[in-house]
Amino acid sequence: MAERKDLIQDITTVENCDLLEAVSDLKNEGYRLGQICATTLADGIEVLYSLEKDCVLKNVKVLVDDKKPQLQSITSIYWPAFIYENEMHDLFGITFKNLALDYGGHFFKIAKETPWNPNAVKAAPPSSEAAEASDSEEQKGGEN
Amino acid sequence: MGKRTIIPFGPQHPVLPEPIHLDLVIEDESVLEAIPSIGFIHRGLEKLVEKNEWPEMVYVIERVCGICSFGHGWGYCKSVEGNMGVEVPARAEYLRTIWHELGRMHSHLLWLGLLADGFGFESLFMHSWRIRETILNIFEETTGGRVIFSVCKVGGVRKDISNEKLNDIENTLRGIRAETTELTNVFLEDVSVRNRLVGVGALTKQDAIDLCAVGPVARGSGLVMDVRLDGHSAYPDLDFAPCIETDGDCYARCKVRIRELFQSMDLITQAVSKIPDGEIEVKVKGNPSGEFVARMEQPRGEAYYYSKGNGSKFLERMRVRTPTNANIPALVKTLQGCDLADVPMLVLTIDPCISCTER
C-alpha cells in the first residue's frame, strides 16, 4: 500500500524573530514555497507558511499582534512570496519589512480596508518607502 | 538605446477573458519588465466561512472556478476530511478520480481552443471546443451539471455512476481518441503554430524552481512535480508518471498539456477497470476542530486548501491558493526580454485563470 504523504501534517510554531531562519533552513534543504495563509484568531493573527519537498509538506507558523501586525518579509529567500505578503497586507493589515515588490496597499481593489482584521489600527502601506511615496503623491495631488 | 515606453496590457484584452493588468515596460519591440496587477474582481469567497456552515461551504468553493470546479470542491472536502479524520469509501475515491480527470481533459481542451484563438487559428479553436463538448455531455449525464456538479461532499460523493455507464464513458473516450490525436497533431506539427510557440518564452528549470512555478508550467521546464504522486485517492492504484518536457518554452507547455490530455484518458480507463463496488459515502459526525492543509493537482497545477475549525459549525478559516496565483511570478520572469508580439502567447501558455486567483 502506498504511503499517504498527503496525510502528513508537520506544523511548527516559531517566534517572529526566528521566522527568517526557519524558512531559510527549509529552503536550504530543498523545500519550495507553496503558500502563505493568515488566520484571524481571538488574540491575534496566525500566519502559516507551507513548504513542499517530494510531496511532503512542512508548515511554519507564527503569531502576530492584530492591532499593528508586523512581520519580516521572506521575499529575500523566496521572491514569489510577494504575492502572498501583499495579499495579507491588504486583507489583514499585516506590514512586511523589506518586502521586495511592494504594491503599497493597492494589490487588491477592495471596498473595505483589512476586511479580515477589523482590529487593525490603520492599513499602513507595507513599507515606509511606500508610505513616503504615497504621502508625496497625495501632496502633489493637493497642490494641483 | 531606444526610447522606453510603458504599454498597458489588460485588464481588457482579446486574449484575456478575465481581468488582469500588466504594465509592460518596452524598449523598441522588446519587453524589459512586466508589472502585474490583479484584484480587479476579488470576490472574498473565503470570507463566506463566517456565514456558511462547513458542509455548505463546498458549494461556495466549487464556484471559485467554472473550469476546475470539481477539483476545488474535492480539495475542500479533502481538507475537511483530513481535519476530521474521515476515511472516504474506495468507490467514492475512484469516482472522484474519474470526474477530476474528465475535468482535466475539459480544461486542457478549453485551453487548446483559447490558444488557437489567440494565434488566430479559428477552425482549430472550434474543433478543440467541439471535442470538449463530449466531455461536458459526460458530466451532464453523470452529475446533472455541465459546469458546477455539486457531487462532491465531505465523506464521499452524492451520486454513483453505474458500471454500465462507466463502460459507456470508456467507449466514448475511445471514440474521441482518434479525432483528439488529429487535432493535437496540428498543434504539435503545423509550421505556423510552431512558429508562434517554439523557442518563445523559455523558463529554465532553475527559474521554475526559484519562482515556485506549478503544474504544466513547471513540468514544461523539466520539473518533476505532480500532487497526484502523494498517495491520495485512487492514484496509487493507477499506473502513471508526470508528463515532463525540458525546453521550457510555450511549445513545451503546450506539449505537456496535450500529453496530459491522453494521460487522463488512460487514467480514466484504468480507474473504470479497477473501481470497486461498495458505498459512496460515510456519515460524518461532529464539527472540525483542528487544522489541515490539503493539496490537489488541478489542471493548471498544484492548489492548496487549508481549513481550520474551532469545534463549531463554522470554520475559523478556509484558504484556497490556486495555481495561477503561484504562476504569476513565472509569467513576470518569462515576459522579461520577450517580443511585444509574443506577450499574448506567453500569457496564454501559463493558462491564467483569474476567476481562481480572485477567489
A:B CB pairs within 8 Å: 96
- Element of type H or E holding B296: strand B291-298
What are the tens digits of pLDDT across the range A104-121?
Answer: 888 887 788 888 887 876
* Of A59-68, A134-143, B51-60, B334-343, the least confident: A134-143
Which residues make beta-bridge pairs with A35?
A50
What are the tens digits of pLDDT across the range B138-158?
Answer: 999 999 999 899 999 999 999
Answer whether residue B28 shows pLDDT above 70: yes
B296 or B350, higher pLDDT:
B296
At residue B29, what are phi and psi to the nearest 5 degrees?
-110, 5
B288 or B10, higher pLDDT:
B288
Look at the alpha carbons of B69, B71, B76, B80 in this order and tell me if their dihedral is positive or negative.
positive
Cβ(B323)–Cβ(B356) under 8 Å? yes
Cell digits of residue B180 = 483528439
* Domain assignment present for B107: yes
Answer whether residue A73 shows pLDDT above 90: yes
Contact B295 A40 (CB under 8 A): no
In angstroms, the separation between the Cα of residue A139 and the nearest Cα of chain B is 24
* Domain assignment present for B198: yes
Parallel, antiparallel, or unpaired: how do β-strands A56-64 and A44-53 relate? Answer: antiparallel
Residues in chain B closer than 8 A to A112 (CB atoms): none
DSSP A90-101: HHH--EEET-SS
Chain A residue with CA closest to B329: the answer is A80
Answer whether residue A143 shows pLDDT above 60: no
pLDDT, mean of residues A77-92? 92
Chain A residue with CA closest to B37: the answer is A107
pLDDT at residue A107 in the model? 82
Answer whether residue B58 shows pLDDT above 60: yes
Least Cα distance to B252 among B323, B138, B345, B319 occurs for: B345
Answer whether residue B186 shows pLDDT above 50: yes
In angstroms, the separation between the Cα of residue A141 and the nearest Cα of chain B is 22
CATH number, domain containing residue B137: 1.10.645.10
What are the tens digits of pLDDT across the range A120-135?
Answer: 765 455 554 554 544 4
Contact B211 A79 (CB under 8 A): yes
Percent pLDDT > 70 in chain A is: 82
Nearest-10 crossing angle of helices B122-143, B163-189: 170
Cell digits of residue B343 = 506577450
Number of Cβ atoms within 10 Å of the Cβ of B233: 24
The phi-psi region of residue B357 (left if phi > 0; otherwise alpha if psi is between -120 and 50; otherwise beta) is alpha
Answer whether residue A24 shows pLDDT above 60: yes
CA distance B1 to B214: 36
pLDDT at residue B15 in the model? 77
The reply to whether omega before B11 is within 30° of 0 (cis) is yes
Residue A50's pLDDT band (cuts 50, 70, 90): very high
CA distance B58 to B305: 12
Look at the alpha carbons of B324, B327, B329, B335 in this order and tell me if their dihedral is positive or negative.
negative
pLDDT at residue A141 in the model? 41
pLDDT, mean of residues B255-281? 96
pLDDT at residue B42 in the model? 81
* Domain assignment present for B330: yes
Cβ(B5)–Cβ(B24) under 8 Å? no
Answer whether residue B61 shows pLDDT above 70: yes
Residue B18's pLDDT band (cuts 50, 70, 90): confident
B352 or A50, higher pLDDT:
A50
pLDDT at residue B11 in the model? 85
Look at the alpha carbons of A32, A37, A43, A44 in this order and tell me if their dihedral is positive or negative.
positive
Q: Which residue carries 475542500 as its cell? A: B76
Residue A144's pLDDT band (cuts 50, 70, 90): very low
CA distance B186 to B149: 32
Number of domains composing chain B: 1
pLDDT, mean of residues B229-233? 90
* Domain assignment present for B27: no
Nearest to B232 among A4, A32, A78 (CB): A4
All structural domains of chain A: 5-143 (3.30.460.80)
Torsion of CA B339, B342, B343, B348, to 10 degrees: -160
* Domain assignment present for B65: yes
Q: Which domain holds residue B128?
A: 43-345
> Residue B46: what residue type?
E
Residue A102's pLDDT band (cuts 50, 70, 90): confident
Q: Which residues of B touch A (CB under 8 A)?
A: 37-40, 42, 44, 47, 78, 82, 209-212, 227, 229-232, 236, 291-295, 302, 304, 306, 308, 316-317, 319, 321, 325-326, 328-329
* Domain assignment present for B200: yes
- Element of type H or E holding B302: strand B301-308
Answer whether residue A92 shows pLDDT above 80: yes
Residue A77's pLDDT band (cuts 50, 70, 90): very high
* Of B101-115, B236-250, B341-355, the least confident: B341-355
In angstroms, the separation between the Cα of residue A144 and the nearest Cα of chain B is 24
Least Cα distance to A58 among A22, A97, A99, A85 occurs for: A22
Cβ(B343)–Cβ(B24) under 8 Å? yes
* Domain assignment present for B291: yes
* Domain assignment present for B166: yes
CA distance A88 to A16: 16
Contact B230 A11 (CB under 8 A): no
Residue B238's pLDDT band (cuts 50, 70, 90): very high
**Mean pLDDT (chain B, rounded):** 92
Number of Cβ atoms within 10 Å of the Cβ of B224: 12
